[in-house]
Amino acid sequence: MATTLDAKTLMDRLIAFPTVSRESNLDLIDFVESYLADHDIPSTRVPDPTGQKAALYAHVGPQVDGAVVLSGHTDVVPVDGQAWDSDPFTVIENDGKYFGRGTCDMKGFDALAIWAMVEAKKRGVTRPLQLALSYDEEVGCTGAPPMIDAMVASGMPKASAAVIGEPSMMKVVTGHKGGLGFAVHMRGFEVHSSLIHEGVSAIMFGAKLIDWCNDVNAENAAKTPTELDTGFVPQYTTAHVGMVSGGTAHNITAKDCDFVLTFRIVPGETIAYWTDRFEAKVAEIQAEMQAIHPETGIDISPAFLVPGLKPEVEGAAEELVRQLTGDNGVNVVSYGTEAGQFQERGYSAVICGPGDIAQAHQPNEFITIEQFQAGQVFMERLLDTLS
């Protein structure tokens, strides 16, 4: 007879797999696949191009319309350089909290979703429940699109509501900013820095593009936000560069400079608009470089693209989750999630999950026991609705 694990034990097991985005998640997927199979729940893998990672989806209940999909990601951010008081990959209970990498973001929700799938199978729900676990959410939400596409193409009944369980303190979140990122490689021309007028410093010209981000942020902060954008903090599109590398020596104009330039875009603006503005600025700076030395230039390539989540009018997912939580507040967030990718593919989508986003990615990451239990109550109510 198959052993049934409670949600807390499932979370313990999931967090024991160190699925940092740069590493494989296949051991975790093996576990989930096997655990579901032990309870007569078939699942489908969607491998990444390298074969080192995979997403997984599953369906419980009749093959009819109206399913609810519970969506989470399996990857976590690194713990390198963080001062942890305990093993990040072992759940520790202390002071009313569960500590561990991913307790909040978002293996706590994943565990609750897996628990709900097995419970749905036992109860024999009349409205189906689906599970969708992705990879590489933390590096640009790149694992969800092929998974969602595979779910749609499989012939599995399409869910009428997708609940993305990112930490929201069990509040109903109906909108988030979109994300757009470009990998930038500046190609300079090396000379001794005493002859800087004859060289092209990839770093110094890269700094012009980086400083343009400051101009964009100041310009956007000065604008009057649209009604759609007023709930965001900040209430405007932002541009950012977090890391820069390049150069050979302090007395040589830099031949190379690399960074990733990202935008967090409010729903009232389009990804195409910001792509065009970015490319125009790149062309302007490249012309300055090539006027000095024609072999220089700027190479750009897409790093990630995450569509925003737009509030829906009478959205099925929002209506369902408001009924289950009792939350009638208006909530939007500035971080990106896979919810926009579900919505882009025709799903009604909403964000709702246990935990506080302020704890995500932090040393000594935790979810309060109270929030984890609130997630359990949510799943119980969902199962009652599906039954």
Of 214, 216, 210, 203, nearest to 289 by C-alpha is: 203
Using DSSP's 3-state secondary structure scheme, residue 209 falls into: helix
Residue 266 CA neighbour count, 13 Å, CB half: 21
Of 301, 266, 267, 269, nearest to 282 by C-alpha is: 301
Phi, psi of 124 (to 5 degrees): 70, 55
Q: What mean pLDDT is predicted for residues 89-116?
A: 98
pLDDT for 282 equals 98
Task: Point out the least confidently predicted range of 126-130, 187-191, 336-340.
Answer: 336-340
pLDDT for 1 equals 67
* CA 60 to each of CA 80, 113, 125, 151, 329: distance values in angstroms, whole numbers, following the listed order: 38, 12, 8, 14, 31
* CA 106 to each of CA 80, 120, 188, 242: distance values in angstroms, whole numbers, following the listed order: 19, 21, 42, 23
**Which tokens go with 93?**
């209970």
Residue 248 has pLDDT above 70, yes or no: yes
pLDDT tens-place string over residues 211-220 = 999 999 999 9
DSSP string, 226-281: PGGGTTSSSSS-EEEEEEEEE-S-TTB--SEEEEEEEEEE-TTS-HHHHHHHHHHH
pLDDT tens-place string over residues 289-324 = 999 999 999 999 999 889 999 999 889 999 999 999
Kindly state the percentage of the chain with pLDDT values over 90.
90
Residue 175 has pLDDT above 80, yes or no: yes
Q: What mean pLDDT is predicted for residues 126-152?
A: 95
Kindly state the percentage of the chain with pLDDT values over 70.
100
Average pLDDT, the chain: 95
Cβ-based neighbour number of residue 309 at 10 Å: 28
Residue 172 has pLDDT above 90, yes or no: yes
pLDDT for 245 equals 97
Of 267, 140, 129, 256, nearest to 204 by C-alpha is: 256
Residue 34 has pLDDT above 70, yes or no: yes
Q: What mean pLDDT is predicted for residues 224-238?
A: 89
**Which tokens go with 346?**
């025709």
Task: Point out the least confidently predicted range of 129-133, 231-235, 272-276, 292-296.
Answer: 231-235
Of 106, 161, 164, nearest to 128 by C-alpha is: 161
Phi, psi of 93 (to 5 degrees): -95, 125
pLDDT for 315 equals 94
pLDDT tens-place string over residues 39-76 = 999 999 999 999 999 999 999 999 998 999 999 999 99
